[in-house]
Amino acid sequence: MYAIIESGGKQRRVSPGALVTLEKIEGEAGKQVELSNVLMVADGDQVKIGAPYVQGAAVMSEIVRQDRGPKVMIFKFKRRKRYRRTQGHRQAQTTLRVTEIRA
């Protein structure tokens, strides 16, 4: 059984027991989270596709950790003008463990 969810503007395929890293979701480690933006649920030959979301479907998960992603360097440069700007950024992320998929 698996589901396709939407979170943080991205779509992810999840299955029970899987670890998934998403954009930051509020909460501490150990807290239960329900993700209700489910686009598709598949269980063997039975497939439910939403328009845009599957009615009554939800993915139950537990927050494993709140973290920050890898550093991305932003470098702006204009030739012959002595213009250089460097900036770093680390996006906040949440790692979830999927516990159950309700269809």
Whether 103 and 4 have beta carbons less than 8 Å apart is answered as no
Whether 48 and 57 have beta carbons less than 8 Å apart is answered as yes
pLDDT confidence of residue 103:
85
pLDDT confidence of residue 2:
96
Q: How many CA atoms lie within 13 A of 89 on its CB side?
A: 7
Q: What is the CA radius of gyration of the chain?
A: 18
Measure the CA angle with vertex 96, ends 95 and 101; round to 5°.
Answer: 155
Q: What is the pLDDT along the chain (103 residues), one digit of tens a residue?
A: 999 999 999 999 999 999 999 999 999 999 999 999 999 999 999 999 999 999 999 999 999 999 999 999 999 999 999 999 999 999 999 999 999 999 8
Number of domains, the chain:
1
pTM of the model: 0.84
Residue ranges making up the domain that contains 11: 2-102
